[in-house]
Structure 1
Amino acid sequence: MSPSVHVTPLQNISDADAAACHRLVAASTAHDLPGVPAPDPGQILAQLTQPALGSRRLTWLATAADGVPAGVAGLRLFTSPGQQHLAELELHVDPAHRRLGTGSLLLSAAVAACRAEGRRSLVATTAADSPGEAFSERHGFRQALTLDHLMLRLDELDMADLLRTADAEHPGYRLTGWTGTVPDELADAFATAKNAMNDMPVGDLDYGSVAWDAERVRAMGKVVADRGDTLLTIASVHDDGTMAGYTEIVLPGGAGPRAQQYDTAVVPAHRGHGLGLWVKAAMARRLRAEHPGVVEIETDNADSNVHMLAVNHRLGFRSYRRTREFQLDVPTA
């Protein structure tokens, strides 16, 4: 363990702090995930200063003896009922400062905060077969879930096939869509549909569950907008007014070539009608029409989520990397 590395909690994020964190994340990502674009400076600033929905964030910066930033750790403390036992760690060490104890010092600070905050479960995501995976195992984390990351190239889609899928008849259902926060007249139905995500496969993660209501779905839309991203939603609505399924896409920074898939869910009572494929195809068509600068969508699925993987492969998504979710059972004080 290097005594020359100092770990400091960041209370009020300055422009210099945000720039240092961005450089560290970019260097770490380029080394461990070649070909995966690092977040831009604006995204890092938003992450540091705009808490994710139902959570608050703690951040630590590790600095070498010469004053050069060597690593950064962010801890998301979940605050919603049903998840108050949970924290999520993101840790980056500059490749030039690895194997000097920097990551271990940052992890120690995060674990101490978990204990102080009464969090029993600390989860972290690493690239499969990466230095982060070895680091996690060495520090007592256990592997809890494997995720398949898939990419859909919108400019390579068979448009005739896509239009047939998006325009297919689904008797008793209609499609609707919106940008940003859900319209008031759909908020209650959307919240009910969001609760369908609570049965998604999470492996051995002690992830808890979240109860969605109209207030929470509105808050989600505001959080995404406040950090400068654009949220797009396509939903399937049953003739009785219930929302049967939906899919969400986020455009980081409001633009850029790669969109991020957020939730896709079909309410259990409406499964088996092809609604998942329908809403996702309609979203791909919408992106082609409204956001021609977006050329690809990235998503991830648990490797045990065979149904959604089949839907994504049918649409044209292709696997391109894997990540693993690790969990540390935090000892109580």
Structure 2
Amino acid sequence: MSEHIHLTPLDRISVTDAAAWHQVVAASMAHDLPGVPPPGPGQIHAQLTKPTLDSHRLTWLATGADRVPVGVAGLRLFTSPGRDHLAELELHVDPAHRRQGTGSRLLSAVVAACRTEDRRSLIVEAPADSPGEAFCERWMFRLALALDHLILRFDEVDGDKVRRLGDAEHPGYRLTGWTGTVPDDLAAAFAAAKNAMNDMPVGDLDYGSVDWDADRVRAMAQVIADRGDTLLTIAAVHDDGTMAGYTEILLPQGAPPRAQQYDTAVVPAHRGHGLGLWLKAAMVQRLRAEHLGVVEVETDNAEDNVHMLAVNRELGFRSYRRTREFQLDLPTA
């Protein structure tokens, strides 16, 4: 059946292309991830057309004989030192058009592009026990990391406990927060704290490392703003001026009710003082006070990240689904 599938590389994304992409992704997620809100049309258009940080994208649209969109693939090619060996795949096939070779055709195009771009590692995320997981196993991707997704629903949270945790005093530390780009006087300290994420558990993923500096944290915030999303940050600053930790929340464009947790990190020298729980509780307080349309927060943790899972569960997060990160190791010349 795959001979009836037509693959088109999308060099310039039109409004029609973005609408077709959204159609496929929404159908795929409704089937494989019921209860998980799919990205809206505006989010998809921004994802496909706005610049990314230290990377570029290749995209393909698969259509049937009647030119109906049946599958999509997006390949993010990282370009920064330490990650320029890496590519990240997003692949969806409309459930009504599966088992006709569409996914395999898309993956073949992706692998060929990875070889052209001299990539040795291709990573992809799939819901646990899903058709995507079976597809990865069939094509010899190896399981590299297991993730537990958790939800904090504000109508179920213990408000008194959150206030107690968020208002707790931590001698030697103070909280500060901002929206969007970090203030100039905190940029260098924030970049140094960002580098603490390089020791987060990544299982067997060949994920490389990221070297953060003040310019890079500003550029990241700009990328998020350009695609129409809002980034909220709360940080713990030590009396000596160093940033001890931070937590970030992403509010997707269109003000959907579910916010997404971005990074939470505590610098190694400041761990063991309860700062992670303090930061996250303060962020929940901020969301409930300033963003009344948000009713829940989703986060994910590696299943072996015992400490952060304990922090999230103490705050009231509950597990609700699992995903798997797979990696395909590609031969290099």
SS at match of 1:3: helix
SS at match of 1:61: strand
Mapped partners of 1:9, 1:66: distance in 2: 18
Looking at structure 2, the residues matched to 51 and 119 of structure 1 have their Cα atoms a distance apart, in angstroms, of 21
Residue 120 of structure 1 corresponds to 120
Q: Structure 1 residues 254 and 186 mapped into 2: Cα distance closer, same or farther (>3 Å)?
A: farther
Match of 1:81 in 2: 81
Q: What is the distance in 2 between the residues matched to 1:234 and 1:194?
A: 13
**Residue of structure 2 equivalent to 1:34:** 34
Contact 1:230–1:254, Cα closer than 8 Å, also in 2: no
Q: CA deviation at 1:159?
A: 1.4
Q: How far apart are the structure 2 equivalents of 1:37 and 1:284?
A: 21
Gaps of 5+ in 1: none
Query: Partners in 2 of 1:317 and 1:332 — Cα distance?
Result: 42
Contact 1:166/1:282 (8 A) holds in 2: yes
1:15-30 to structure 2, matched below 5 A, reads 15-30=15-30
- Cα displacement string for residues 294-313 of structure 1 (whole angstroms, at most 9, x for unaligned residues): 00000000000000000000
Report deviation, 1:158: 1.6
Residue 316 of structure 2 is aligned to residue 311 of structure 1: no
Normalization by structure 1: what TM-score? 0.99
Q: C-alpha distance in 2, partners of 1:93/1:191?
A: 38
Give the SS at the match of 1:39: coil
Q: Following the alignment from structure 2 to structure 1, what is the Cα–Cα distance between the partners of residues 239 and 25?
A: 47
**In 1: Cα distance, 2:100 partner to 2:130 partner:** 18
Task: Indicate yes or no: 2:256 matched with 1:256.
Answer: yes
Q: What does 1:1-333 correspond to in 2, within 5 Å?
A: 2-253=2-253, 255-333=255-333
Distance 2:232 2:315 in 1: 18
How far does residue 52 in structure 1 lie from its aligned partner after superposition? 2.5
Q: Which amino acid aligns with 2:230?
A: T
2:24 and 2:221 map into 1 onto residues whose CA distance is 29
Q: Which amino acid aligns with 1:296?
A: E
What SS is found at the alignment partner of 2:7? strand
Q: Is the 8 A contact 1:70 1:97 kept in 2?
A: yes
Structure 2 CA distance for aligned equivalents of residues 61 and 126 of structure 1: 19
Deviating more after overlay: 154-163 vs 6-15: 154-163
Letter in 2 for 1:107: L
Amino acid aligned to 2:171:
P
Worse-superposed segment, 316-325 or 49-58: 49-58
Task: Work out whether residues 195 and 212 of structure 1, in 8 Å CA contact, stay in contact via their aligned partners in 2.
Answer: yes
Aligned residues: 333
Q: Deviations over 1:198-246 (max 9, x none)?
A: 0000000000000000000000100000000000000000000000000
Return 5+ residue gaps in structure 2 as ranges. Answer: none
Amino acid at match of 1:271: R
- The sequence identity of aligned pairs, in percent, is 79
Whether the 8 Å contact between 2:2 and 2:105 is mirrored in structure 1 is no
What is the distance in 1 between the residues matched to 2:253 and 2:289? Answer: 19
Give the Å deviation of 1:2: 1.5
Letter of the aligned partner of 1:75 in structure 2? L
Q: Deviations over 1:7-27 (max 9, x none)?
A: 110011001000000000000
Superposed displacement of residue 254, structure 1:
5.5
Alpha-carbon deviation of 1:156?
2.0
Quick one: distance in 2 between partners of 1:27 and 1:61?
Answer: 15
Where 2:126 maps in the other structure, the secondary structure is strand
CA distance in 2, matches of 1:154, 1:265: 23
Q: Is the 8 A contact 2:145 2:204 kept in 1?
A: yes
In 1, the alpha carbon distance for the partners of 2:149 and 2:54 equals: 25
Tell me the SS of whatever aligns to 2:253.
helix
The structural deviation recorded for 1:155 is 2.4
AA aligned to 1:76 is R
Q: What residue identity is the alignment partner of 1:145?
A: L
Provide the rounded CA distance (Å) in 2 between the counterparts of 1:174 and 1:287: 19
